[in-house]
Structure 1
Amino acid sequence: MATVTSRDGTRIGFEQVGAGPSLVLVDAAGGFRGFGPMSSLAGRLAGKFTVVTYDRRGRGESGDTPPYAVEREVEDLAAVIEAAGGTAFVHGFSSGAALALLGAAAGLPISMLSLLEPPIALDQPPQEGDLAAEIDELVAAGRRADAVEHFHTSIGVPPEITAGMRQAPFFPMLEGVAHTLAYDSRITPAVSLATLQSVIVPTLVVNSEASDDRLRGWAEDVATALPRGCHLTLKGEWHGVSNDELASALADFFGGGAV
């Protein structure tokens, strides 16, 4: 593992594998290098790219300097891209896709972008309540498990997936990063139609054929709103596709050929 210092002095842990053009992977809510699909995806892409995975602030080996602001996470991504050589392809998953879009809109040196099911509802009114504040309150009260469950229920994770979540072997890792779920809850609403229209790099938006109509529709709408967006549906499960399927699609899109 290596580290890079973000603009506000926060240490961000990252690592890279492979050789070729730089490709930075941006995790979804709760994900970091020790948990989630990105490390496995990086291994599948390492034959064509120098793949960089990093721990978003407050997770894994990265620091977390208060007060939180979405802009700090954009600066973290900028620091990682700089450490990766100064320019990079970027792939983001879910709220990590929203963060990648904010980075591209802010002018970060992202040459091409791919997004897996960005949870951006362009045609719907804002969600009632303040999910980020609710997560903050639960964490402050020491109810980290409740914060995790409340987040997943609030964003529409199907009950059959959340049932028994607390008994899952990975649940302690989710509890450990429960405070960062408030960060993701602030990032996604920060992406507007104007944000999308300002992203001028070629962008691939992917969804799983097994996701619900809401997620599939969001992906299609985002691809349509992007000036240079294209859309692809892959085989998969709810809110996810296999890393083999995704790696092949990303390699084709970013110009590396089949992996």
Structure 2
Amino acid sequence: MRMATSKDGTELAYDVSGQGPALVYITGATCFRRFRPVLADVGVFATKFTVYNYDRRGRGDSADVLPYAIEREVDDIEAVVDAAGGRAILYGHSSGAALALEAAVRMPDKIDRVVIYDAPYVHDEAERAAYAELAQKVYALLDEGRNARALKAFLSGIGMPRAFVALLPLFPGWKTMKALAPTLRYDIGITETLPPVERFASIQVPVNVVVGGKNPAGMQQVARELASAIPRAAHRVLAGQDHMVSAAALLPILTDSAVDN
């Protein structure tokens, strides 16, 4: 385990694996760097990259200086990129995809290219209202200290299969997931709006906007909107993939620097 320090003093834990160009892995909600699915991804990515796998603030071995702001999470990404030598490729999954795009807006001089998968912004006003209702339910459970219930409510609310959610307490990382449940507030805050396409239109680094072919129509729509708004973006649909994307299926896109213009 290594540590990087963000601008507000938050200590961020990260691990380094593999050899090749620096790749910073920005995970989504309920994930942490030693979560088994994350480690499986890192094992694949490390065959082509030097992977910087870090705990987002409030997770795993990382600290969390309050108050929270999306800008501080972008500061965190910059701290990890600096630890990687000052330049890196960013891969963001789910809410991590939204953070990767925010980083691309702010620090293009430190980013070679960005790959995002399943950016989970709401796609219309109806979904926005439903997500706000889910958020209030999750926040109420967190306020009561019912972290496990909050996690299950969130994951069920965003469409995770009930059988999968029911089995979560059997996962080796469940104890850590419960501890990081308060960070669900962060992920919801990042993704509760429509895609901020006007801001992302200023992105000048190459971006691959990737979505799973088995994902809902709303997520497909968000991917198309992002790819249309970002000047140097490619839009890729991975056939047969859902939100839990296969790292092996994603690897060719990570290694391909070509984008559509």
8 Å contact 1:89–1:254 — kept in the other structure?
no
User: Match for residue 52 of structure 1?
Assistant: 52
User: Match for residue 221 of structure 1?
Assistant: 225
* Distance in 2 separating the partners of 1:107 and 1:55: 20
User: Match for residue 113 of structure 1?
Assistant: 114
Q: Deviations over 1:228-250 (max 9, x none)?
A: 11111224443122111111221
**One-letter code aligned to 2:201:** Q
Q: Of residues 246, 249, 254 in structure 2, which corresponds to 1:245?
A: 249
* Distance in 2 separating the partners of 1:47 and 1:165: 29
8 Å contact 1:132–1:183 — kept in the other structure?
no
Whether 1:91 aligns to 2:91 is yes
Range that drifts further, 205-214 or 183-192: 183-192
The 3-state SS of whatever aligns with 1:85 is coil
* Distance in 2 separating the partners of 1:86 and 1:41: 23
Shift of 1:70: 1.4
**One-letter code aligned to 2:120:** P
Give runs of aligned pairs for residues 19-58 of structure 1, distance below 5 A: 19-35=19-35, 37-58=37-58
Whether 1:172 aligns to 2:190 is no
Distance 1:193 1:58, change over 3 A: same
* Distance in 2 separating the partners of 1:62 and 1:254: 34
Range that drifts further, 76-85 or 206-215: 206-215
Q: Of residues 199, 202, 205 in structure 2, which corresponds to 1:201?
A: 205
The 3-state SS of whatever aligns with 1:241 is coil
8 Å contact 2:23–2:49 — kept in the other structure?
yes
Q: Deviations over 1:17-60 (max 9, x none)?
A: 12222111100101111115333222222233211110000111
User: Match for residue 76 of structure 1?
Assistant: 76
8 Å contact 2:36–2:173 — kept in the other structure?
no
The 3-state SS of whatever aligns with 2:256 is helix
Whether 1:152 aligns to 2:152 is no
Range that drifts further, 86-95 or 187-196: 187-196
TM-score, normalised to structure 2, is: 0.87
Q: CA RMSD in A?
A: 2.4
8 Å contact 2:128–2:192 — kept in the other structure?
no
| Unpaired stretches in structure 1, ≥5 consecutive residues | none
Whether 1:183 aligns to 2:186 is yes
* Higher relative helix content: 2
**One-letter code aligned to 1:114:** V
* Distance in 2 separating the partners of 1:53 and 1:25: 5
Distance 1:106 1:132, change over 3 A: farther
Shift of 1:195: 2.3
- Matched positions, count: 255
8 Å contact 1:203–1:229 — kept in the other structure?
yes
The 3-state SS of whatever aligns with 1:232 is strand
Range that drifts further, 213-222 or 87-96: 213-222
* Distance in 2 separating the partners of 1:2 and 1:168: 25
Shift of 1:163: 4.7
TM-score, normalised to structure 1, is: 0.88
* Distance in 1 separating the partners of 2:13 and 2:258: 25
Distance 1:214 1:43, change over 3 A: same
* Distance in 1 separating the partners of 2:89 and 2:81: 9
